[in-house]
Amino acid sequence: ASLVQARIQELGLKNINQAEDRFGFSRGYLRGVVRDDQKRAIPSIEKAQTICEAMGLEFYIGPPREPSTIVELDRERFALIPHYSPALLSDEGLLNLAGEADEHVAFPNDWFLRGRLKPEQCILFTALSSNMAPAICDGDLVMVDRKATVLRNGKAYAYQTQEDGFCLARLELVPERILIARSDNPDTEQFSPKYYSGNEIAFVQAGILGEVIWSGHTWR
């Protein structure tokens, strides 16, 4: 209870009601856990985990533990997101995510909280083409949510196949017919759509690395 109260204050929330609104909880969901009288409820493991995940707290019972992705600097919490650079591409143009990232980039942990994202499930890579320009240009940093691999038509995804290598595109599935990978770049001659059919559809879906949730442009 004290950890939850401290986290509420750390986030600058004025009261329990505001915290419940912030994290999408129903009225009383947190209040029963943090009250300091005999009516305080002991949450189930599932509820405690839900609260911790929503508020950016680590839910931990016992060993083994993995290294934390969260660091604290000047009383502000940052998430360290692994960046897989083009130097890690194989000869076939594929990223090996089982290997070590060559660097980590710090993002304010509160940003993930607001988006209800888990930083440990996010990765960064470098765009290898201007096919998604003007939103994402060649050389831009791009973050994807590794948990979001179920295809939603029109969303931008990072994916890779043996034939095409590492790709970034908006995917659109016509069930049992065709999968279309579209670019945002209006130059359709240079960046024409890719069409996948038959077994290729399953290969693309299996190769989805995550949905794009953020990108950063470098001004040169």
| Domain shared by 15 and 115, yes or no | no
Q: How many domains does the chain have?
A: 2
| Domain shared by 16 and 77, yes or no | no
| Domain shared by 84 and 174, yes or no | yes
Residue type, 39: K
Rounded Cα distance, 40 and 58, in Å: 22
Q: Encode the chain (220 residues) as per-residue pLDDT tens digits.
A: 677 888 788 778 888 888 888 888 888 888 878 777 777 777 888 888 888 878 777 676 655 544 457 788 777 889 999 999 988 888 888 888 888 898 999 999 889 988 888 899 999 999 999 999 999 999 999 999 999 999 999 999 999 998 999 999 999 999 889 999 999 999 999 999 999 999 999 999 999 999 999 999 877 6
Determine contact, residues 88/102, Cβ cutoff 8 Å: yes
- The pLDDT tens digits of the residues spanning 86-138 come to 888 888 888 888 888 989 999 998 899 888 888 999 999 999 999 999 999 99
- The pLDDT tens digits of the residues spanning 113-127 come to 888 888 999 999 999
Q: Which domain holds residue 17?
A: 2-55
- Cα angle vertex 75, ends 73, 81, to 5°? 45
| Domain shared by 27 and 130, yes or no | no
Residue 171 placed within a domain: yes
| Domain shared by 9 and 106, yes or no | no
pTM: 0.69
Buried b (16+ CB within 10 A) or exposed e, 118-137: bbbebbbbbbbbbbbbeebb
| Domain shared by 97 and 174, yes or no | yes
**What tokens were used for 61?**
């019972």
DSSP conformation letters of 63-115: S--PPPSEEEETTEEEEEEEEE-GGGB-TTS-B-TTS--SEEEEEEHHHHHHT
| Domain shared by 171 and 198, yes or no | yes
For residue 159, what is the domain's CATH number?
2.10.109.10
CB atoms within 10 A of CB 185: 17
